[in-house]
Chain A
């Protein structure tokens, strides 16, 4: 019975999302176009002169792109939940036998599906400019990205659970996520950071996501990343537990 409700709600939310003026365009088309544009400029025309730059384009860029999509999905999820709370929609749904988990799960599925669709389009469209991507272990990478997204989502939920208004939620989501990305070892290798920042980086969940994604992309076996996965799982468990405690319906 609840599965039927979950399926109905998920399908409904996808339809509603597609009806929004910027829905499909903003979530799927624009990232793909930006990715293609970047590919034309960087990948196609200007062969990178140094090894570091080449490494960033071949490993860093795909990881960055996928993480950005995941983060975007999370921020838009946070925004939707707070819009629903502000508008009294959450409250109305709560006065039915729907469980809170079902409502939240439906939104997570919608966002994961959109993320997957965007990535699939990118891989297809990007084959021309990013030939390396074709040889990367796409299946393992997708699993790694799902694990990372799940963990980032739980942080998003925690934010969504406590932040009162949609505008604020979007802001806080951005402020939490993007700086985390800056220190995650994606742009500057962790080893090159001063000790204090190195410690900060190790406390940030995204650092483990980046390590996992970069490793899997370059062909590491899963066994090399047990620690990263454990860290991401821990983040998920802690954030989910906290957000179910503090979640507000109105």
Chain B
């Protein structure tokens, strides 16, 4: 698979603080790649080095075959950028911003009006920036990031501060960007966002990359534990459940059993055991680990701390 971003051995310090260190990864053509970690882990610094907004102290970066530091203007023509905590002029109108951005790029830009329509902003085209809601502002920033029909789109903490409904709407938009064949590089501290959107994620903490993989592989490699909770009145159930291969513990409270074990086969084995012994259940749930658990396992603390 073709790499569109190659980062190797990047280090960036601010005074005595090391923001990122020995950061290396590749982003493949057409994927959504997520850099995930808590606030202050070095996500934005890494992203801004790739965008050419900051110069790394050490290491090399290549984006679409270009050096972001020396060929920044060439690069900016081919990428789309959404920055964390960016603002526009308070009294600029939505269509004016889109129109201005469209003039800035050498490439023939996409149709601004259509973009506003797709992003649900067409009713707001004459509104001042200062009067937009948080979600509308973010959608406008997405529009500005897409106006030059970029090959790579950078999204920094895109849904921070948005309500769940706007967040879901934005996720759909990001999937739409990938469907147009573009590569998306995003940062987030929301594990759910990474799990739902990203093809691959890199976990970063204290400026270092801890692991890179698909969300599923990260979960199955670092958190193989599986848990099944079921409820049954069958008196033989406990004995039968204890004989399941891969089972590590069975705990019981009244008619409710919690079966813990390892490996993807555990759930199948439980179902097999239930049907073979004709055990009737009134409830059946699986509890699967997610990226939050992976993060906890790798760093020893929750991402929210």
Contacts and interface: CB of A to CB of B under 8 A. Distances in A.
Contact of B53 (A13, A16, A94, A98): A94
Interface string B83-121: 101111111100010011101111000000000000000
Contact of A16 (B81, B89, B104, B105): B89
Contacts of A45: none
Contact of B106 (A89, A95, A97): A97
A97 B76 contact: yes
B51 interface: yes
A19 B53 contact: no
A88 B104 contact: no
B225 interface: no
B286 to A, nearest CB: 44
B100 A8 contact: yes
Dominant SS among interface residues on chain A: helix
Given A12-B96, A87-B87, A88-B87, A95 B51 contact: yes
Interface in A85-104: 87-89, 91-92, 94-99
Contacts, number: 58
Interface residues of B, number: 24
A92 B84 CA distance: 9
A4 interface: yes
10 contacts: A5-B103, A5-B104, A12-B100, A16-B89, A16-B91, A88-B83, A92-B88, A95-B53, A97-B104, A98-B104
A97 B92 contact: no
Interface string A7-22: 0110011011001100
A89 B86 contact: yes
A191 interface: no
Contacts of B92: 12, 16
A89 B88 contact: yes
A52 interface: no
A172 B88 CA distance: 25
B77 interface: yes
A56 B85 CA distance: 52
Contacts of A1: 106
Interface in A183-210: none
A4 B105 CA distance: 10
A187 B89 CA distance: 40
A160 to B, nearest CB: 16
B73 interface: yes
Contact of B105 (A8, A89, A92, A97): A97
Contacts of B105: 96-97
B91 A92 contact: no
Given A88-B86, A95-B76, A20 B103 contact: no
Contacts of A92: 83, 86-88
